[in-house]
Amino acid sequence: MSKQQFMQQPWSNWMKGNGPEADIVISTRLRIARNLRHHPFPMLATDSQAEEVLNKVIDASQSSAMTQLGQFESIRMDDLSALEKRVLVEKHLISPNLAEESRKGAVLLNQDESISIMVNEEDHIRIQVLLSGCQLKEAWETGTKIDDIFEKQLNYAFDEKRGYLTSCPTNVGTGIRASVMLHLPALVMTQQISRILQAINQVGLVVRGLYGEGSEALGNLFQLSNQVTLGMSEGEILSNLYGVANQIIEQERVARRYLEEHSRMAVEDRIYRSYGILKFARTVETKEAAQRLSDVRLGVDLGLIPDVSPLVLNEMLVLSQPGFLQQNAGQKLSPEQRDERRARLIRERLA
């Protein structure tokens, strides 16, 4: 797949909507941070040093063992416009940090975009696996397979006491961050979400918004991830996250049943109002689109709107973002033009 195809298609593997618990868990992400021994971390590296790291990682990605996982396309940040970088961020294929601050950064993408390997981000290597639904075990199996392949060819920065060394102390140890993106409209509507978020912080986990640290929880979407990487094994980290995620999933299901039993008319009215607005509105702002899509997604999951696919709704998480709207239009758009184009694209998808 060419660079342009990655930019133009809204679909990624994680949007399928067919994984385990996919009515609540939109996607699973696993990220492994690694650095190369005897090379300055990216924030201290010169351009030539960063280029050397990039070439080593690209060479390692072209090994026969890696090709068994598929073909990878190398995309350098220097070759992308600001808008193209924003599109990759909106598709969750690169981090905002790689898009905005990276020197000699790049990303290696496989064809279905389930694997993205960021180079010269905060760390030399960020292996990322994105899957649909709740698939922590499967994401870890793929991620650690890539990690093992790289470790045979690249000399990792590793300390017997501290584990894998990273730019940020919070990633030292295993270097892994696992997360699940949860759609929790019922817990928000029943005003239970604040209590749950407070409890999560007490068990070594953290909740962030749609695009990770510092981002807003648009459309009732929350990213639940581990906060501790040192002093716990990979298995313990994943088991803890999986256990807490399952508890939240069950609480969301209970909240949905409560709404159906005690507030059915109000919930149906809210869902169908949002559905009607999205089907007929001529302008829709980003925040409103996210909230209305969340309502429609709840309607689909409750069986109230059977003719809309979860895949279409997941696609619109990307389609409705400012960067993708402008990339799709082939030009820079004013906020008003983006709102108009967003409404039109959503109308077309829902039709």
* pLDDT (tens digit per residue) in 131-165: 999 999 999 999 999 999 999 999 999 998 899 99
Predicted pLDDT at 4: 67
Predicted pLDDT at 217: 67
19 assigned ligand-binding residue: no
Predicted pLDDT at 13: 79
347 assigned ligand-binding residue: no
Cβ burial of 211 (10 Å; 0-12, 13-18, 19+) is: middle
178 assigned ligand-binding residue: yes
d(CA 75, CA 81): 12
d(CA 291, CA 307): 20
37 assigned ligand-binding residue: no
- In DSSP terms, which residues pair with 31 in a beta bridge? 128, 177
Give the pairing type, strands 163-164 and 176-183.
Answer: unpaired
118 assigned ligand-binding residue: no
267 assigned ligand-binding residue: no
d(CA 287, CA 284): 8
Q: What 3-state class would DSSP assign to 340? A: helix
d(CA 30, CA 135): 10
Q: Which domains does the chain have, with CATH numbers?
A: 3-256 (3.30.590.10), 263-350 (no CATH)
Predicted pLDDT at 294: 95
229 assigned ligand-binding residue: no
268 assigned ligand-binding residue: no
- For residue 236, the number of C-alpha atoms closer than 13 Å in the C-beta half-sphere is 11
Neighbours of 160 (CB within 10 A): 5
Contact (Cβ atoms closer than 8 angstroms) between residue 249 and residue 241: no
Ranges of residues in the chain whose predicted pLDDT is under 50: 214
180 assigned ligand-binding residue: yes
177 assigned ligand-binding residue: yes
116 assigned ligand-binding residue: no
210 assigned ligand-binding residue: yes
In the numeric block, which tokens belong to residue 233?
A: 């094994």
Predicted pLDDT at 198: 86
